[in-house]
Structure 1
């Protein structure tokens, strides 16, 4: 292997390692994250974790006591969905800084963010695209 090719491969691997470390840090942050949403009428407050799982449902006021059961049930479901949507958006913002657009559109509520799968996909992309570019003399620049 020629020295320039070897250097470009080492640079690509170093970039991959930096992104892996950044993703691990973001994943750890997501594990600690919480999002709380309170319904408009303040009858229900729902907290979800960084993976959009419900961790708490509270009733900050006594308004829920006078609500018909179906209305309260619908309000709880609506508040949970709002909290999950907000948590998902917050998670995507955390990941957006280090992930290509294809990964940034993933929904963590649909099976969770699989960091290992993302690394595998990134390695395949690097092998398919970046290494092909290097080997074909098109440089080793980052694909946008």
Structure 2
């Protein structure tokens, strides 16, 4: 029979593992962009490369995604997006639809249609991540 202490420890380890999965897989859904760092957060609509990889531009170190949005038209500032990011990243950014009214940024789980996290989808994500990181080739 398990002691109360060991079952509590197992539950705690499970919670920490679940948190790690969420941190690796969760993405930001752009609303107004004020909560999202251009350079440090996962917000691009790409499962493989959700973070900006372009070099940080001096003067924009603390830039938020909202800085890339024209506040009057609520559209992407195309000159700024193309000026700060690689062509591939700029295309991804411009593909993100923006609301005509300010909407709160939201953290989502992009591996389910609803955007909600489920343990099964987290396990599948981890399995895919592990297989992507595994060395290729046959050991000799």
Q: TM-score normalized by structure 1? A: 0.28
Higher helix proportion (structure 1 or 2) = 1
With a CA cutoff of 8 Å and minimum separation of 6, indicate the structure with the bigger relative contact order.
2
**CA radius of gyration, larger in:** 1
Higher strand proportion (structure 1 or 2) = 1
